[in-house]
A and B are shown apart, each in its own frame.
Chain A
Amino acid sequence: MRGVSELEVGKSNLPAESELELGLGLSLGGGAWKERGRILTAKDFPSVGSKRSAESSSHQGASPPRSSQVVGWPPIGLHRMNSLVNNQAMKAARAEEGDGEKKVVKNDELKDVSMKVNAKVQGLGFVKVNMDGVGIGRKVDMRAHSSYENLAQTLEEMFFGMTGTTCREKVKPLRLLDGSSDFVLTYEDKEGDWMLVGDVPWRMFINSVKRLRIMGTSEASGLAPRRQEQKDRQRNNPV
């Protein structure tokens, strides 16, 4: 459909430099930009209608994003999302204790759990993540993760792909935790100090983390080294 009444798309009206191709079937620029235009199509999602048995095949290399990994989908507000995640955490906690449906829990114990849970609802479950050289910060839900590996994987996915799409195939993995990449993962704790992620037990970590930052390794040298034999990288921060 090229009927244009309000706008002339003829060359005479455009600045000389821009040669616009406004055809359908957009031609994407070459090189790095080939990937960026890719949006999620039906192929990206596990077969529709089938129950979740397909998920066993979903984690091999170029795994398709599950609908929950797509940013902002399903469209549930932050408060509600936090609440759902907390419900699951509580369910998991109860399951761990191996109780039945109507276990009578001590008053303060339950209060403790609910205070902990409630303390994390509505905003505090999500912490901001910034990566050096990336303008847009993101938020990640600490409560939705069970381990450092889990968290690292989410962050790697978040920052190496478009928001809303994931193109894991052509991209070098971040490997935030093993010290082998250009970046390290750091966090700001409740006291305002910046520490390397990974030193303390997971539970302690999620209770004290306020913010995350993916830092270039050269900048991170001021922080306490995680291991004695750090691999020294001489590169500058990539931009």
Chain B
Amino acid sequence: MGLRLPSKVLEHILSFIDSNEDRNSVSLVCKSWFETERKTRKRVFVGNCYAVSPAAVAKRFPEVRSLTLKGKPHFADYNLVPDGWGGYAWPWIEAMAAKCPSLEEIRLKRMVVTDECLEKIAASFKDFKVLVLTSCEGFSTDGIAAIAATCRNLRVLELRECIVEDLGGDWLSYFPETSTSLVSLDFSCLDSEVKISDLERLVSRSPNLKSLKLNPAVTLDGLVSLLRRAPQLTELGTGSFAAQLKPEAFSKLSEAFSNCKQLQSLSGLWDVLPEYLPALYSVCPGLTSLNLSYATVRMPDLVELLRRCSKLQKLWVMDLIEDKGLEAVASYCKELRELRVFPSAPDLDEANIPLTEQGLVFVSKGCRKLESVLYFCVQFTNAALLTIARKRPNLKCFRLCVIEPFAPDYKTNEPLDKGFKAIAEGCKDLRRLSVSGLLSDKAFKYIGKHAKKVRMLSIAFAGDSDLMLHHLLSGCESLKKLEIRDCPFGDTALLEHAAKLETMRSLWMSSCFVSFGACKLLSQKMPRLNVEVIDEHPPETRPESSPVERIYIYRTVAGPRMDTPEFVWTIHKNPEIGVSHLAIK
């Protein structure tokens, strides 16, 4: 009766299925489908490196070619996760080296990567092609040199916002002298100067190079010489633009840029003097992505640049653009899909920029394709949020950071509940939401009720009580990642919705009111959750009802991890072990 699909046929069918979500579904059909799927999966994504053991992954997917891993919780970006928490790449590299020698691509985010790891990668994977490290730390330029020297087929080497122990610019000279297969090189986060002649020669012998992101140590002269050698670039991250303005320098730069006819993405531009911006005018009409978020250029100069960028889809900029500048963007950049506006002053006290909610309203009205927003602003209004929601129901990602904590609608003095309600209700495809400003529990009732597709939610300084968490955990069906800081609730809602936590990737709560007792209970009752208490003081030395500093809860099939530092406490699953030995260090 049962027709069995020959595995070769199934394999062929599966070769058309790329999406991992689909493949996950396929693998649940029956054992033989599971087997065929696992043997044919080429790209593996692990959103939390502690959710599953490296050995299990390596064993299950022997043919993996591309591995993507994420380590620390997102709030580590803002210094909320103490150093030494974890996220070590080594066990993964080791496991992969042992079982999956055909691995070609490794992408790591927020992980601790050592030189040893990099050397192991270089030594173990013969056809290694792609290394992308985002927000990683723990390695030095020696490790990079090992990769450069050994991986003969290296195509992509990108260090994005990593913290690297910079031992000098020599690493660049380790690339083989023969022509390289480099397609993308990003060393923008490194500090020290590389020898420009090394870089020039590397670029000259990399005919496939399409993306080059330099570090600030590369001068304008260097940039000119590189552009001359690589006019085929589609993505460029400049070095520092700080240099005395000389007419010949300017015209050389201008000419170099005008020869880059395929440039689509531009970033870097550290310290750019406004006088140099006209050199970029020739590439503006072709740009789809522009990152000016490190360029301390003021509004009039910015607008001169932006009004030429009619094809722009992605714009990152500082609040120096002001409302007026955003109004111009709204009228010139009709293709805009993503806007990020960052603060230009780290301290609120120095902020005196005429950027208000109006800027975002302009862009929402003028840019029909806008779907992703990150906006830092001192204060906001409900009315603006309502307008944004009404005009842009197609928003997928909305991250508003009202810099002043607890700031109400500054015109009506009300909480921003109504505004975020409109966003949650109106933007039906919203996947990512960050809220801020003064918010009561009501806001979260609305979000719980309407934000059915939100997968990631970030909350700070908000809410009144446990109800807030209750609304979110009972309402947001698609919620996968929830991160909360400084909100006045904890235990009850957490325990009530414990089962929900298993449907999510992770929950982070810091400076809230979660007690150690609740953490214990949660951990004991939910075998497939790791409940980590991150607190410098041993929780057992305090009353069980006292709050812990931080908790990080995530689902896992790997059990409690063994690499926790002294300030991370995992609670033993077996209550019979007893209270005094509850924590495993």
Which positions in A face B, CB cutoff 8 Å? 1-7, 9, 14-15, 17-24, 26-30, 33, 36-37, 39-42, 45, 48-49, 52, 55, 66-68, 70-81, 83-85, 87-88, 90, 104-107, 110-111, 113-115, 117-119, 121-124, 128, 134-139, 144, 162-165
Contact = CB atoms under 8 A, between A and B. Distances in A.
Contact of B376 (A20, A74, A137, A162): A74
Question: Is chain B's interface secondary structure helix, strand, loop, or mixed overall?
Answer: loop
Given A42-B438, A107-B244, A138-B82, 12 more contacts: A1-B466, A2-B496, A20-B518, A29-B546, A36-B547, A42-B406, A66-B347, A77-B78, A119-B192, A121-B191, A122-B163, A162-B511
Contact of A123 (B164, B294, B517): B164
A160 to B, nearest CB: 13
B191 A124 contact: yes
A84 to B, nearest CB: 5
A7 B521 CA distance: 9
Interface string B543-581: 111110100000000000000011100000001001100
A48 B489 CA distance: 23
Contact of B496 (A1, A111, A122, A135): A1
Contact of B547 (A37, A45, A118): A37
B354 interface: no
B468 to A, nearest CB: 11
A67 B404 contact: yes
Given A33-B543, A40-B461, A136-B82, A73 B405 contact: yes
Contacts of B163: 78, 122-123
A111 B567 CA distance: 43
Contacts of A87: 296, 344
A167 B140 CA distance: 39
B492 A7 contact: no
B393 interface: no
Nearest to B522: A7
Contact of B240 (A36, A81, A118): A118
Given A20-B518, A67-B405, A122-B189, A76 B343 contact: yes
B536 A6 contact: no
Nearest to B565: A135
B544 A18 contact: yes
B123 interface: no
Given A87-B296, A136-B536, A137-B84, A79 B549 contact: no
A27 B545 contact: yes
Given A7-B525, A85-B346, A136-B536, A33 B405 contact: no
Nearest to A165: B511
Contact of B79 (A2, A7, A72, A124): A72
Contacts of B270: 83, 118
A29 B516 CA distance: 12
B545 to A, nearest CB: 5
B17 interface: no
Contacts of B549: 162-164
B216 A26 contact: no
B270 to A, nearest CB: 7
Contacts of B240: 114, 118
Nearest to A83: B294
A226 B271 CA distance: 40
Contacts of B492: 1-2, 22-24
Of the listed residues A30, A79, A136, the one surrounded by the most CB atoms of chain B closer than 10 A to its CB is A136
